[in-house]
Amino acid sequence: MSRTGDDLDRDLADLPPDLRWREWLRRIEAVLFASAAPVAREELGRVVGQGASVDLLIADLAVDLMGRPYEVAKVGAGWMLRTRPAYAPAIRAAAAAEGQALSLSEFDLAVLAAIALHQPVSREGLREIFGRDISRDLIGRLATQDLITTGPREPRRGAPHTFVTTETFLAAFGMESLRDLPDPEQLADAGLAGPSEA
């Protein structure tokens, strides 16, 4: 019997295969339910037996949750449970959910979108995009909400910090990866951005 930290029986060898699978499935659901951030495959692998496939368990959990108001979503390198988009109006209408909303102005969202589309991007790069300086306070607000973090610096002395989006950004906007961002040409066609310049 394989055990981890708190004497968790990972292998469940005393259970028949179908009940073992069901228990592993419920463990993964419980871990995802308890986590506010995406959970990586390695972390989920700590609650199931060595022969279990986390990917297959996630696929089965997705099927189990069909018809429920929440779903398993791939976000970055992990998974999380999130409310299905059809229920967003109900959540917004609930008084308890008001404190969970992102507190971003229209300009904050524009800067966040620019970071997402041009990352890694420095404050200087953002100044070129918007034609004005972007305040440290604004960058701080986005970082405090864990929507952005510092990115790589150029390999030269005194290179400025750059900014990139986080998995929290992906989760907040319902994306699996940055490939889900709209193409800059699509944004321009929709009148939401100017044409991109190479």
* Spatial contact of 181 and 175, defined as CB atoms under 8 Å apart: yes
CATH number of the 97-189 domain: 1.10.10.10
Structure tokens at 162: 């750059």
* Spatial contact of 102 and 143, defined as CB atoms under 8 Å apart: no
Domain span(s) for CATH 1.10.10.10 in the chain: 3-85, 97-189
Written as one letter, the residue type at 35 is S
Instruction: Determine the pLDDT at residue 1.
Output: 44
Q: What are the per-10-residue average pLDDT scores of the chain (198 residues)?
A: 66 92 94 90 93 94 93 91 83 58 81 90 90 90 90 79 90 85 70 47
Cβ neighbours of 80 (radius 10 Å): 21
Query: What is the residue-wise DSSP string for 81-119?
Result: EEE-GGGHHHHHHSGGGGGGS----HHHHHHHHHHHHH-
User: 54-64 and 17-34 helices cross at what angle (nearest 10)?
Assistant: 80
Of 134, 76, 75, which Cα lies nearest the Cα of 105? 134
pLDDT 10s digits, 5-57: 568 999 999 999 999 999 999 999 999 998 888 999 999 999 998 889 999 99
Q: If you search the block for the tokens 């699996």, which residue do you land on?
A: 176
Instruction: Determine the pLDDT at residue 28.
Output: 95
CATH number of the 3-85 domain: 1.10.10.10
Instruction: Determine the pLDDT at residue 44.
Output: 95
Q: How far apart are CA 117 and CA 69, in angstroms?
A: 30
Q: How far apart are CA 184 and CA 198, in angstroms?
A: 11
